[in-house]
Structure 1
Amino acid sequence: MAEKTINPVLKQILELGPTVAFFVLYTRIKDDVFTFGGTEYTGFIVATIAFVPVLLIAMAILWALTGQLSRIQVFTAFMVIFFGALTAWFNDERFFKMKTSIVNGLFAVILGAGLLRGKSLLKWIMGDMLPMQDEGWMILTKRLAIGFAALAIINEVVWRTMSTDAWVKIETFGFPLALFLYLWVQIITLQKYVIEPDKAPEDNA
């Protein structure tokens, strides 16, 4: 199904809104304790449980408006549901905090496995969005594998040594910003590998 064009601001709201909603809800109820079925749940766990349907609704709207979802979005949503369920079932916030480490770790392993086979799985995921020579894809894949591994390690250090408040702030703002800047720097430094469609006719002349 071809991707439909939607307002870029609306797209950003649908992609980032659930995470921001989780942060806002957590800050409002973090000191509260809720009782369901005779079991007490902290504000963090209640915010985590609420985050799951909000994310699914936002993804459903995004799919309805654009006609598609990226493989990364689908995988991330699955992991959020899975670890959100574990967090609620065991009433243990550590499961949701570990999610970030496991997701980034899996990304690093998957990309690394492709590199060992001489392939860029990143090209398979993002090739339509960023036309680039194979050599550039291999370099970018290697660097992102390292970046995801670093984020996984950092998350482990943060949630194990810092407060829940600190983790929520870093998870909501720090990690996404760090990944965005890291990816932006890589794309800038790999500009010589980017294929410019407008120049293709001249090259074939």
Structure 2
Amino acid sequence: MLTPADGAPVVVPAKEESWLPLALDFGPLLIFFVTFKLVGMIAGTAAFMVAIAAAVLTSKIKLGKVSPMLWLSAVLVLFFGSLTIYFHDQRFIQIKPTIIYAFFAVMLLGGWLRGRPLLKYLLGAAYKGLSEEGWLKLSRNWGFFFTFMAIANEGMRASLSFDSWLSVKVWGVTIVSILFAAANVPMLLRHGLDVGEPKAQ
């Protein structure tokens, strides 16, 4: 499965080598988490910035492209990471997920209301055979999910310590995203999702 660091839609990979996008999306956040625990917030933020830049470069070289989600995450990490280090204020790095979630929520729900399933342009290769209605419902569902996540991140940012917030961000968001993606599978199957034929032995 692909579990982007900022809760972007989870997809079932078509090929075994798609562990690389998983590493590129989740790796920088894991590096941030470990470095923060061992050294501190400023060092963790700096490591996060270096790791996300390396992920973009690796994606371009190994995959020949950089996903829009990774681009957006990288730009925001570098921008808010720089502010975090300059002002020694962790709130800048904490607000980054809210901006990403809100951006995806507005884009997906706006597209859904106009009858344009924007997720189709991002995940079309992963969800083969899915009908237009299925794409619209999937975009709508993830749009509402991101709305909830944006609100939840602001609530956690206001009520939790940075250490607790980061633990929830790294592990909780991943688990919730996977569970939400799994909950959508029955709907996807009803709308023509091609799960592929088993290989002959």
TM class by smaller structure: 0.7 to 0.9
**What is the aligned partner in structure 2 of residue 114 from structure 1?**
111
**What is the aligned partner in structure 1 of residue 25 from structure 2?**
15
2:74 aligns with one of 72, 77, 88? 77
Whole-angstrom CA distance in 2 between matches of 1:123 and 1:130: 8
Alignment of 1:12-91 (within 5 A): 12-29=22-39, 43-91=40-88
- Higher relative contact order, chain-length normalized (CA < 8 Å, sep 6+): 2
Larger radius of gyration: 1
Check conservation: 2:84, 2:92, Cα contact below 8 A.
Answer: yes
Whole-angstrom CA distance in 2 between matches of 1:179 and 1:195: 19
**What is the aligned partner in structure 1 of residue 8 from structure 2?**
none
Amino acid in the other structure paired with 2:146? F
**What is the aligned partner in structure 1 of residue 180 from structure 2?**
182
Check conservation: 1:101, 1:155, Cα contact below 8 A.
Answer: yes
Segments of structure 2 that go 5 or more residues without pairing to the other structure are 1-14
SS at match of 2:116: coil
Whole-angstrom CA distance in 2 between matches of 1:88 and 1:135: 45
Residue 168 of structure 2 corresponds to residue 158 of structure 1: no
Amino acid in the other structure paired with 1:184? A
TM-score of the aligned structures, taking structure 1 as reference length = 0.81
Aligned residues: 182
Whole-angstrom CA distance in 1 between matches of 2:118 and 2:88: 36
Q: CA deviation at 1:21?
A: 1.1
Check conservation: 1:6, 1:65, Cα contact below 8 A.
Answer: no
Segments of structure 1 that go 5 or more residues without pairing to the other structure are 30-42, 200-205
Q: C-alpha offsets along residues 46-99 of structure 1, whole Å, 9 cap, x if unaligned? A: 311221111111231232111122111111111111211222233211011011
Q: CA deviation at 1:139?
A: 0.6
RMSD over equivalenced CA pairs, Å: 2.1
Which one is further off, 166-175 or 78-87? 78-87
TM-score of the aligned structures, taking structure 2 as reference length = 0.82
Over the matched positions of the two proteins, sequence identity in percent amounts to 30
Which one is further off, 13-22 or 145-154? 13-22
Q: C-alpha offsets along residues 93-140 of structure 1, whole Å, 9 cap, x if unaligned? A: 101101111110111011111122221111121112212100001111
CA 1:172–1:198 in structure 2 vs 1: closer, same or farther (change >3 Å)?
Answer: closer
**What is the aligned partner in structure 2 of residue 149 from structure 1?**
147
Amino acid in the other structure paired with 1:59? V
Check conservation: 1:111, 1:142, Cα contact below 8 A.
Answer: yes
Whole-angstrom CA distance in 1 between matches of 2:195 and 2:25: 28
Check conservation: 1:23, 1:172, Cα contact below 8 A.
Answer: yes
